[in-house]
Amino acid sequence: MNDLYEECAKAIIDLDGDRAEELARRSIDEERPVLETIEKGFVRGIREVGRLWEEGEIFLPELVVGAEAMKRAMAVLEPRIAAGKKELADTHRVVIGTIQGDIHDIGKTLVATMLSANGFEVHDLGADVPIGRFVEEAIASNADFIAISALLTTTMPGQKRVVEEIEKRAMRDKVRVVVGGAPCSSEWAAEIGADGYAGDAVSAVNLVKQLATAS
């Protein structure tokens, strides 16, 4: 592997946001292909961080720091991606947010960052997002997925209402819906007509990838 890409991966694995940002800028200075830098460098690093977390070798705080390091690198590189829209022609788009009434967004932000790191175009609406806002953004961005987080049992029904609104607008064959959050489950996803459930950021990325491949 190219030494620069190796360094990019290592910066994420080392949870070093300053270094990740520095290397992202260096890749631009050296006129490296942006998507290649992301895929062969930073994505390799965040995948390793995800693997370490899945296997219990690191804990949630480290996973969050690794995702933040990835986010800092992506903040440098994303304007360059936007400038080369042709490269994104086949990219799947994801609208993500925490449902209305719920202000918890750490897990949702981690999922959004890791989706972006894995090549998805992510539209993060933040927390306490109204049902209609998910649908409006999906239409505006021509999204392929809507990802809805709910951390409270009292806000879970909002996920169902998003699915119902999509069906009402005859968008169900175009937009896949995935749900997550502590009180959710695969059974809940099936009950409300969602396309899947993920219990953590790594699983969420894998789920969206599987659905994207199947579409």
pLDDT category at 143 given cuts 50, 70, 90 is: very high
If you write DSSP's letter for every residue of 54-117 in order, what string do you get? HTTSS-HHHHHHHHHHHHHHHHHHHHHHHHTGGGGTT--EEEEEEBTT----HHHHHHHHHHHH
- According to CATH, what is the number of the domain 93-214? 3.40.50.280
Where along the chain do its domains lie? 3-88, 93-214
**How far is it, in rounded angstroms, from Cα 97 to Cα 95?**
7
pLDDT category at 77 given cuts 50, 70, 90 is: confident
93-127, pLDDT tens digit by residue? 999 999 999 988 777 887 887 787 677 889 999 99
Residue 84 confidence (pLDDT):
54
**How far is it, in rounded angstroms, from Cα 118 to Cα 105?**
20
| DSSP β-bridge partners for residue 121 | 93
Of the candidates 31, 64, 27, the residue with the CA atom closest to the CA atom of residue 49: 64
**How far is it, in rounded angstroms, from Cα 194 to Cα 157?**
12
Of the candidates 20, 55, 53, 54, the residue with the CA atom closest to the CA atom of residue 38: 20
162-206, pLDDT tens digit by residue? 999 999 999 999 999 999 998 999 999 999 999 999 988 878 989
Q: Name the CATH superfamily housing domain 3-88.
A: Methionine synthase domain (1.10.1240.10)
49-62, pLDDT tens digit by residue? 888 987 899 988 89
Give the pTM.
Answer: 0.70
Look up tokens 């993060």; give the residue.
124
